[in-house]
Amino acid sequence: MIITDSHSHLSIHAEDGIAFSVCCDENLESIDDHFELKDDIGRSYVFCGIHPWFIQDSMILENILSKCQRAIDTGRIDGIGEIGMDSVRRGIATLSRQELFFDAFVSLAVRNSLPMSIHCVKTSDRCVAVLKKYSKSLPPTAMHSLCVHFSEAERFLRLSDNIFIGVGIRSIIQCGTKTKKMLRVVPIDKVLIETDWEEGESKHWDMTRAQALARVIEYLSIVYGKPIEDIQKITFDNFKRFARSTSK
């Protein structure tokens, strides 16, 4: 079974049954550790960015962007993420500051033609508005673990042919009804599978990462009425279009 994980926060990837995996850095502090993954056999993709939950008042955007650009210039960065906006989480930066960071990171991804992984929680209007500014040159972009009304998913998909929708174990367990309705408007060639796992989540969910991804594939097989083998192949092809694994 060829399984990919298009969004995780794990500093290890080499688990049985997972062919390719994206590791999203959250705040650039552990980016050097994530580079260690690159010494492996090319199955890990390292994305860098500042997650909206971790935007600090003390952060100077220009310095952060320079640090990211320097990392990109080394050739060891495969994408930008996790970036985005969140209006639900308490105690984080204001939405206008989140938008400032998000816009700057989208611009960075566009300038460097790097794929993006985006966190969008109850901020669809703002996220769409920012992405729209760049829609003519938008690189492959994953709206990861998106849990929105189907009409909002349609708005994202209309922005560009390069938009993908990430579906993970959280999407089907914690956001099941909404996800099922949303997927009616999402063509299967726009679906990425993911875990969004951090260290220790395997224990929390009582399954391995490969088992979690297999469960998402089974779910998609039922939703789209296609055999499991077809879903595996399609989501693998989608991953290659998203993270460009063919260049590895």
Binding residues (CB under 5 A) for Zn ion: these are 82, 196
119 CB-near residues (< 8 Å, 6+ apart): 51, 52, 82, 83, 84, 85, 86, 144, 145
Quote the least distance from Cβ 118 to Zn ion, whole Å. Answer: 10
Quote the least distance from Cβ 176 to Zn ion, whole Å. Answer: 19
Q: How many residues does the chain have?
A: 248
Nearer CB in complex with Zn ion: 161/199:
199
The residue number with the shortest CB distance to Zn ion is 196
Nearer CB in complex with Zn ion: 60/88:
88
Quote the least distance from Cβ 9 to Zn ion, whole Å. Answer: 6
DSSP structure string for 113-133:
T--EEEEEES-HHHHHHHHHH
Nearer CB in complex with Zn ion: 196/201:
196
Quote the least distance from Cβ 7 to Zn ion, whole Å. Answer: 6
Is residue 192 classed as helix, strand or coil in its secondary structure? strand
Quote the least distance from Cβ 5 to Zn ion, whole Å. Answer: 11
Nearer CB in complex with Zn ion: 82/152:
82
Q: Is 198 left (phi over 0), alpha (psi -120 to 50) or beta?
A: beta
Nearer CB in complex with Zn ion: 82/201:
82
Smallest Cα–Cα separation from 124: which of 91, 154, 79? Answer: 154
Largest CA distance in the chain: 50
